[in-house]
Structure 1
Amino acid sequence: MKLGLLTAALGQMSLEQIAAWAPQAGYQALEVAAWPVGSEHIHQAAHLDVAGFTAADAARVRELLDGHGLTVSAVTYCGNNLHGDPAERDRVHRHLRACIDAAALLGVRYVTTFIGRDVTLPIADNLRQAEQRLPALTGYAADRGVKLLAENCPMEGWHPDGYPANLAYSPELWDWMAGLGFGLAYDPSHLPWLGIDPLDALEHALRSGIVGHVQAKDIQIDERARTRYGVFGKTAGRASPTDVGWWRYRVPGRGQLDWNRIIDALYAAGYDGDVAVEHEDPVWGGTLERTLQGMRIAAHTLRPLIPITTTPGAGP
């Protein structure tokens, strides 16, 4: 197991700059963001331009990362694979297939994505559509030696009323999506506000053998504010989809998750993937320097729990 970071929050830096910085901060692996070039959201970086990605591009990336003692834990593009607009859904699927092709050229085992949801339809209709459309994507990946993983982020910001819009948010859905060929990219920060015990859920997923990758993000909950707003968050006074009013994401070490128990559960189960810090902390964000400091705080928290590993000749 290696400690890594998801590059998405570092869109102001190039992959070359991240590769030079990460080992100095205590990281050994990168979960590389691969949104389409030109994505404008702060957490949708394009550190791999997968459109037209070639064997020569893969060789260049491997040489860069090898030179800094880094590996790639996953290629990540979290689009809405069940989008209600057929043209947009097709665009998402085409880009996801390009991410799979790039991962195959790099020798990377995993591509992380979302299941998504057509928010104009009931969940039951979405489940049926997923069962019809998504096995083609997981099969495309499997044919190239890659496993598609769905992250358990609810993506409530995609829904007009703040309800879950990524059908991978609960252990029940993890079992369902495994039947479609997906593994799980487990992020414990999304579970407490849904009333799900993150450790119990993790142990269930580990027993099921579906965990391929782990993201490390923490959460801070204000229980008194939850009493005011309810589990779905602010209604009349919400300023943005993420302005829920009673919880917020934090870097590991600044929230309330028990990382000692989470990491121990991974080791106890023989998990052989990586743990990548995902930075969405509003306190340690806003500027590049504060974001990097948040990454340092996360490494300081997790590094004692995940010893440095040395793999001679390791590449991406």
Structure 2
Amino acid sequence: MRLGLLTACLPWLSLDEAAAWASGAGYEALEVAAWPSGRGHHTAHLDVTHFSEADAERVRELMDRHGLTIPAVTYCDNNLHHDDEERHRIHRHLRACVDAASTLGVPHVSTFVGRDFTRSVAENLQRAEHLLLPLLEYAAERGVRLLAENCPMEGWSPDGYPGNLAYSPELWDWMFDLGGPGSGFLLTYDPSHLPWLGIDPVAALRHALRRGMVAHVQAKDIEIDEQARTRYGVFGKTVGRTGPTDVGWWGYRVPGRGSLDWNHLVDVLHRAYYDGTVAVEHEDPVWGGTLDRTTVGLRIAADHLRPFVRPEGRRSGS
């Protein structure tokens, strides 16, 4: 098991700079962000639309120099978008991510399932077979597996309802078996999205591990104010809401600053012989906003996770 980070939180740095910093901070892997734009949490650390074998060789040399691996190229967008032109653009870029991953020898591309808000959930599930199976086949032909993260993407809805149909174990089973048993999306498991939905993150993880669908793990924490939940309800505040994510009773934190039991979660991974990456996804507003504060947050996360992900006394390569 390796301790990594998702580079999306470091838009101020180039991939070269991010790799040097991460290695110096004790990280062992980079989940590389590859959005089309390069701002905020839509960061482009790989230009996948113009990615050549020479680019791949340079990236491989960079990773080797800093003792890092790349478990996944990540581009999370709405693959069931209601607008045909926008959906085609998203799919083109996702295919470019697959091409770049294949050229690099990276086994996974992490994305979202998404949702068409103009249709019911049942209609979305039916349309997914037509719209998503070609993407899964495209990736498989190039030796890459597509992963779907379990983020609800409530921010895509004006009222905070799930915008990514991959947020629950029921949906994990559906997307995993899309196109045939075990042939669909593998899972990027992020436990921070589960507690506010009323889902036990440990029980859900055990289920996913039993089915063999966990290919990648993201480490993000959650802080919950139960008194505020009593006031607003599970869907969040209504009066004075500034945006879809302004729920008033929960928020994301770096590991070690929230309520998740990382000792227990990582132990479940060890028991299942998970040998992939646990990559910090930094979306903590307390330790964000600037490069200096963000890197402090990443160090807090690494210090908290390292005793579990890399047991004391173990060194890289041992």
If the TM-score is normalised by the length of the shorter chain, which range does it land in? Answer: over 0.9
Q: 1:61 aligns with which of 59, 62, 71?
A: 59
- 2:258 alignment partner in structure 1: 255
CA RMSD after TM alignment: 1.0
- 1:95 alignment partner in structure 2: 93
Is 1:310 the counterpart of 2:316? The answer is yes
- 1:198 alignment partner in structure 2: 201
Q: 1:44 aligns with which of 42, 45, 67?
A: 42
Is 1:280 the counterpart of 2:283? The answer is yes
1:130 and 1:75 map into 2 onto residues whose CA distance is 22
Q: Structure 1 residues 108, 309: closer, same or farther in 2, change over 3 A? A: farther
1:141 and 1:267 map into 2 onto residues whose CA distance is 28
> How far 1:235 moved relative to its partner?
1.4
- 2:181 alignment partner in structure 1: none
Q: How does 1:226-265 map to 2 (within 5 A)?
A: 226-265=229-268
SS at match of 1:207: helix
Is 1:290 the counterpart of 2:293? The answer is yes
Is 1:142 the counterpart of 2:140? The answer is yes
- 2:34 alignment partner in structure 1: 34
What are the Cα deviations for residues 254-313 of structure 1, in whole angstroms up to 9, with x where unaligned? 00100001000001001121100000001111111000000000000001112255349x
2:81 and 2:253 map into 1 onto residues whose CA distance is 29
Structure 2 residue identity aligned to 1:178: F
Q: How does 1:157-236 map to 2 (within 5 A)?
A: 157-180=155-178, 181-236=184-239
> How far 1:23 moved relative to its partner?
1.4
SS at match of 1:252: coil
- 1:15 alignment partner in structure 2: 15
What are the Cα deviations for residues 187-206 of structure 1, in whole angstroms up to 9, with x where unaligned? 00000000000000000000
Are 2:11 and 2:38, in contact at CA under 8 Å, matched by a contact in 1? no
Q: Structure 1 residues 309, 130: closer, same or farther in 2, change over 3 A? A: farther
Relative contact order (C-alpha < 8 Å, sep 6+): which is higher? Answer: 1
Q: How does 1:64-75 map to 2 (within 5 A)?
A: 64-75=62-73
1:92 and 1:277 map into 2 onto residues whose CA distance is 25
Q: Count the aligned residue pairs.
A: 310
- Where do 4+ consecutive residues of structure 1 move more than 6 Å? none
SS at match of 1:45: strand
What are the Cα deviations for residues 206-230 of structure 1, in whole angstroms up to 9, with x where unaligned? 0000000000000000000001111
- 2:153 alignment partner in structure 1: 155
Are 1:83 and 1:89, in contact at CA under 8 Å, matched by a contact in 2? yes
Are 1:2 and 1:309, in contact at CA under 8 Å, matched by a contact in 2? no
1:103 and 1:309 map into 2 onto residues whose CA distance is 27
1:208 and 1:187 map into 2 onto residues whose CA distance is 17
SS at match of 1:232: coil
Are 2:72 and 2:110, in contact at CA under 8 Å, matched by a contact in 1? yes
> How far 1:132 moved relative to its partner?
1.4
1:311 and 1:149 map into 2 onto residues whose CA distance is 27
1:122 and 1:292 map into 2 onto residues whose CA distance is 41
Structure 1 residue identity aligned to 2:316: T
1:262 and 1:2 map into 2 onto residues whose CA distance is 15
2:315 and 2:130 map into 1 onto residues whose CA distance is 42
1:39 and 1:289 map into 2 onto residues whose CA distance is 19
Give the TM-score normalised by the residue count of structure 1.
0.96
Q: 1:125 aligns with which of 109, 123, 142?
A: 123
> How far 1:236 moved relative to its partner?
2.1
SS at match of 1:112: strand
What are the Cα deviations for residues 136-160 of structure 1, in whole angstroms up to 9, with x where unaligned? 1011111111110000000001012
Are 2:81 and 2:115, in contact at CA under 8 Å, matched by a contact in 1? yes
Are 2:166 and 2:175, in contact at CA under 8 Å, matched by a contact in 1? yes
